[in-house]
């Protein structure tokens, strides 16, 4: 049966060039990058070459690039690491729409819950800058605002956020997991102290991520036991993954503008037609700047989870929100923060397009959506 994959914000399948780079490194590497012998030195060279290529693609210095296991670890390392570098730990303020790997640090029973505040967002999902300024005036020292949201695709005004943080001397962490490869990204000019990136969101290998740390910014390590990644992230380096990650980042950045234009056209085509299939439907975050590939549609009167399951049976993969929480029954904290009542939050479905998506995929997904909607209406009668 034909399948159309519209869940690229959950994970975007590895591209062939990346797989090739991964296999090439696995086949050629034998040593530990910390060993002194020739095999070890070869692994070290490949690792540092990957770091340099990634730095060049992201407009960062090589010594600002740290390898981690993914976006979750990068977010935890940055926020905990920035907060715990002082005694007592610095206060943290996070936007209400952050990914759970940021948000849950600041919510009970998270480790920073007692010293955290939340920056509210508008009905379109954009952070309230006035409120952020009040929190900064009240001595928020570590701020986390994501570049683009994984559920709605809404893009945050990072330049303004960074200006405010700079003015009040606060550290800014930017979760760029959904934006690299979809939006222009320069670590040199984004104005953040730290930024997170994940391999599997940009058609790279799963199990590797990046934490970019501005020169001169010190973080308290969370792991101990070795000098790797300059003591911040001890443990034997995943050199083959780093090599493949470098390829993925280079390709994602090089193809970004062409892919973005193409995906925006497909996404808009899908979105307009989907809205006309269910007249009360609306796009969450439609009034804000959004990632070109993401469409989060609220289908009033329907259950989003039932819709996702019915689409799956018909060959279309979509999602009710972030993959990490789609198994759970709770409505999306992102949509609730935007002021959607619980019922409408539960009626929302995310469609996220990726480099492999085609016009035919859009047509197939729309046909299946139309038949599923028809069936759901009949079963409700």
The window from 66-74, 180-188, 216-224, 233-241 that contacts ligand PLP (CB under 6 A) reads 66-74
Q: Which is nearer to ligand PLP, 198 or 357 (CB)?
A: 198
d(CA 14, CA 3): 17
- Residue 217 · residue 171 · CB < 8 Å: yes
Active-site position among 128, 165, 298, 324: 324
- Residue 232 · residue 77 · CB < 8 Å: yes
d(CA 283, CA 296): 6
Strands 209-213 and 316-317: unpaired
Give bridge partners of residue 4 from the DSSP assignment.
Answer: 316
Q: Which is nearer to ligand PLP, 6 or 281 (CB)?
A: 6
Instruction: Write out the DSSP string of 57-100.
Output: HHT--GGGEEEESSHHHHHHHHHHHHHTTSSSPPPEEEETT--H
Q: How far apart, in Å, are the Cα atoms of 179 and each of 186, 287, 299, 377?
A: 11, 19, 26, 36
Q: Could you give the 3-state DSSP secondary structure of residue 311? A: helix
Binding of residue 173 to ligand PLP (CB under 6 A)? no
- Shortest-Cβ-distance residue relative to ligand PLP: 71
> Residue 292 is encoded by which pair of tokens?
């070109």
Edge-to-edge strands, sheet with 116-119? 65-68, 209-213, 194-198, 171-175, 142-144, 92-95, 116-119
Binding of residue 125 to ligand PLP (CB under 6 A)? no
Binding of residue 79 to ligand PLP (CB under 6 A)? no
Touching ligand PLP, residues 132-171 (CB under 6 A)? 146, 150
- Residue 19 · residue 215 · CB < 8 Å: no
CB of residue 198 to ligand PLP, shortest distance in Å = 3
Binding of residue 317 to ligand PLP (CB under 6 A)? no
Q: How many residues bind ligand PLP (CB under 6 A)?
A: 17
Burial 51-81 (b: 16+ CB within 10 A, else e): bebbbebbbbeeebbbbbbbbbbbbbbbbbb
Q: Which of 375, 364, 351, 381 is nearest to 7 (CA)?
A: 351
Binding of residue 50 to ligand PLP (CB under 6 A)? no
Binding of residue 175 to ligand PLP (CB under 6 A)? yes
CB of residue 187 to ligand PLP, shortest distance in Å = 17
The window from 27-35, 71-79, 240-248, 363-371 that contacts ligand PLP (CB under 6 A) reads 71-79
298 catalytic per annotation: no
Q: Which is nearer to ligand PLP, 7 or 237 (CB)?
A: 7
The window from 172-180, 311-319, 328-336, 352-360 that contacts ligand PLP (CB under 6 A) reads 172-180
Between 260 and 299, how does the x/- string for binding to ligand PLP read (CB under 6 A)? ----------------------------------------
Touching ligand PLP, residues 95-124 (CB under 6 A)? 99, 101
Catalytic residue numbers read 324
List of residues contacting ligand PLP (CB under 6 A): 70-72, 75, 99, 101, 146, 150, 175, 177-178, 198, 200, 209, 322-324
């Amino acid at each position: 049966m034909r399948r159309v994959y519209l869940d690229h914000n959950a994970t975007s399948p590895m591209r062939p060039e990346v797989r090739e780079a991964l296999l090439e490194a696995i086949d050629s590497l034998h040593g530990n990058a910390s060993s002194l012998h020739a095999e070890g030195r070869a692994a070290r060279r490949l690792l540092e070459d990957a770091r340099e290529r990634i730095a060049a693609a992201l407009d960062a210095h090589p010594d600002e690039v740290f390898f981690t296991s993914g976006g979750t670890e990068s977010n935890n390392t940055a926020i905990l690491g920035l907060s715990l570098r002082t005694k007592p730990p610095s206060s943290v303020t996070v936007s209400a729409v952050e990914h759970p790997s940021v948000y849950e640090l600041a919510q009970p029973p998270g480790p920073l819950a007692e010293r955290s505040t939340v920056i509210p967002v508008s009905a379109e999902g954009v952070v309230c800058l006035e409120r952020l300024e009040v929190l900064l005036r009240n001595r928020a020292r570590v701020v986390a605002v994501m570049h683009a949201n994984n559920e709605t695709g809404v893009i945050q005004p990072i330049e303004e956020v960074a200006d405010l943080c700079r003015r009040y001397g606060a550290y800014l962490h930017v979760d760029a997991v959904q934006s690299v490869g979809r939006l222009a990204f320069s670590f040199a000019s984004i104005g953040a102290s730290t930024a997170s990136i994940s391999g599997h969101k940009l058609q790279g290998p799963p199990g590797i991520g990046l934490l970019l740390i501005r020169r001169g910014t010190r973080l308290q390590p969370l792991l101990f036991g070795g000098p790797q990644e300059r003591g911040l992230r001890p443990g034997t380096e995943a050199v083959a993954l780093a090599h493949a990650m470098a390829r993925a980042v280079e390709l994602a950045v090089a193809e970004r503008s062409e892919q973005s234009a193409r995906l925006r056209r497909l996404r808009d085509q899908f979105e307009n037609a989907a809205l006309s299939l269910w007249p009360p439907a609306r796009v969450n975050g439609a009034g804000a700047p959004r990632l070109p590939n993401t469409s989060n549609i609220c289908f009033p009167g329907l259950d989003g989870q039932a819709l996702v399951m019915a689409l799956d049976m018909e060959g279309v993969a979509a999602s009710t929100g972030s993959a990490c929480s789609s198994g759970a029954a709770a409505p999306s904290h992102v949509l609730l923060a935007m002021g959607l009542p619980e019922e409408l939050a539960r009626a929302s479905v995310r469609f996220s397009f990726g480099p492999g998506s085609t016009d035919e995929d859009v047509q197939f997904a729309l046909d299946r959506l139309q038949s599923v909607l028809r069936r759901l209406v009949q079963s409700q009668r």
